[in-house]
A and B are shown apart, each in its own frame.
Chain A
Amino acid sequence: MTKEKVPARQDFDQLNRDWFIDKAVQVLVFLGGISAIVFIIGIFVFISREGLGFIFEDFSFTEFFGSPNWRPTSESNPTYGILALVAGTASVTGLAMLVAIPFSLGAAIYIAEFASGKKREFLKVTVELLAAIPSVVWGFIGLAIMNPIIIQTFNVPVGLNVLNAGVILGLMAAPIMTSIAEDALKAVPDRYREAAEAMGATRWQVIYKVVLPAAKNGLLGAVLLGVGRGFGETMAVLMATGHSINIPTSVFDSVRALTATIAAELGETAVGSPHYEALFTIGIFLFVITFIINLSADLIVRGVRKG
């Protein structure tokens, strides 16, 4: 043994208890981290397995994406076109964002930059309370309150339509968007504001020139979270859209959303039937869209960071 050749390690380099705890925690959080990936893959495999049968047998790309006719229960000639459903989801989500973005950014800027002390605390608690209202309650408001208001105000026959669902969904998404946006604004260090204010910038100039650019990643995140929420929301849109298959030409048309279709029909279908599998194919489609939204959000945020 040439033991004396090995340089004597100093005692600081011993692997002590702290070191082992550190390594153990690293392994644990690593498992936690990859479990998210495992779940995502698991979900994807599950919905794919249920939906793939449809894709390989009855699926026609042009019919699925190009036809507005969703008639899966037709005896003689069932058709599976989701164009109208996509249009329904897109129109409702788009309108919801038109409602939610100004509301939530306005509220976030007010809470983070102008309100102070008790007023601020009160507003924050209220916004968080709003975010906790279950979606079925929002659907109920759409059905029982918005519906007659729309019928009376605009003199239209039906009040369950794009306008109703868009407003309801916008109000639903606004509180959580406000919360995230406010966090993003609060994360901007005060010394940025002080430096800008010392140059004689007005409150609004400070916000517009310094705070908003510094917080833009977080604000973009808030908006995309809202889009995701609108896309995935089921119960409120089921209740407030009117649930009729339609490519909307105005905000007063009733529509039907992708998610609502799955929720309303899945329980009624025979497991393994083309209808059942077609609903899972919609699920795959929703999954892919969500993935694309998140991925592009990620890329945008990265691009913003580089620029």
Chain B
Amino acid sequence: MVAVAEPTAVNKLEVDRLTIRYGDHVALEDVSFEVRENEVFGIIGPANSGKTSFLKTINRMDMFDSNMSFEGAIRFNGVDVSRVRNVYGLRRRIGVVFPLPVGLPLSIYDNVALAPRLAGQKNRAELDIIVERCLRRAALWDEVKDRLHSLGSMLSGGQQQRLTIARALSQEPELLMLDEFSIAVDPVTTMRIEDVLRELKKEITIILVTNLVQQARRLADRTAFFLEGRCLDVAPTEELFTGTVSDPRTRDYVEGRFG
């Protein structure tokens, strides 16, 4: 390729020497990288490598755990999240999908309409449009369009996970963080959601934490490898899988020769 000038990619998120602790236990140590606007940033790594703790810190969910503390800085749109005065405003810009689906005990419609309502949207017609759009995007609309007013928590696991994604999208987030979203979803639905994420990437930034190495390869523009609380590699995804990596353990992991 001819050397094209770096695209004027803005950093959505800058992580600067981040260390996360639970009491004395270090969950993540001295991690620095940036997440660019409109990219899918993959994070792979085995359990207990600090992936979820990292996501929690970004939208200040660490505040729920008095034992949890962090040093260093995470800048979202250039603003240090540890200095944000209105964390609710921050969280409304960031959508999160947890590993196990959490369908709130509301109707399907109300689940998806919750975030726009929190933001003050009262117009029924507007809400109808948002709900349909988000459910379509999450590949759930066809299955639930005839029972929008039944309980969201009664859906099957995979449907609830797509409901969670629809709900996260209804916030119109700038950053969408997915934490191992495919755990409770069948492979066909997983593929459909992956298509959705490819579409979404045009508009928003996505952080995809996954324990499926191939999923990161399919979706992520750049990928980080976390192991035991350290970030061993951050590289464009194909490079991580085929090129030279700075740590041999990364190669072992992505090729499934780990441990």
For residue B258, give the distance in angstroms from its CB to the closest CB of chain A. 30
Q: For B77, give its contact among A10, A15, A22 (CB under 8 Å).
A: A10
| B51 contacts chain A at the CB level, 8 A cutoff | no
Chain B residue contacts of A13, Cβ below 8 A: 79, 84-86, 89-90
| A16 contacts chain B at the CB level, 8 A cutoff | yes
For the complex, give the distance between the alpha carbons of A15 and B118 in Å.
Answer: 15
Chain B residue contacts of A14, Cβ below 8 A: 86, 89
- Residue on B with the closest CB to A12? B89
Interface size class of B (residues with CB under 8 A): 10 to 19
For the complex, give the distance between the alpha carbons of A7 and B79 in Å.
Answer: 8
Summed over the interface, the residue pairs from A and B with CB atoms below 8 Å come to a total of: 33
- Residue on B with the closest CB to A20? B86
Kindly identify, within residues 192 to 221 of chain B, every residue whose CB is under 8 Å from any CB belonging to chain A. none
The DSSP consensus for interface residues of chain A is loop
Q: Are the CB atoms of B89 and A16 closer together than 8 Å?
A: yes
| B105 contacts chain A at the CB level, 8 A cutoff | no
Interface size class of A (residues with CB under 8 A): 10 to 19
- Residue on B with the closest CB to A7? B78
| B249 contacts chain A at the CB level, 8 A cutoff | no
Greatest chain B CB density within 10 A among A13, A18, A19 is at A13
Q: For B79, give its contact among A9, A18, A19, A22 (CB under 8 Å).
A: A9
Chain A residue contacts of B85, Cβ below 8 A: 13, 15
Greatest chain A CB density within 10 A among B79, B88, B89, B93 is at B89
> 5 closest Cβ contacts across the A-B interface?
A12-B89, A10-B77, A19-B86, A10-B79, A12-B93
A-B contact pairs, 19 of them (CB 8 A): A7-B78, A10-B76, A12-B77, A12-B90, A12-B93, A13-B79, A13-B84, A13-B85, A13-B86, A13-B89, A13-B90, A14-B89, A15-B85, A16-B89, A18-B88, A18-B118, A19-B86, A19-B88, A19-B89
- Starting from the known contacts A13-B79, A18-B88, 5 additional A-B residue pairs (CB-CB under 8 Å) come to A10-B77, A13-B84, A13-B89, A14-B89, A19-B88
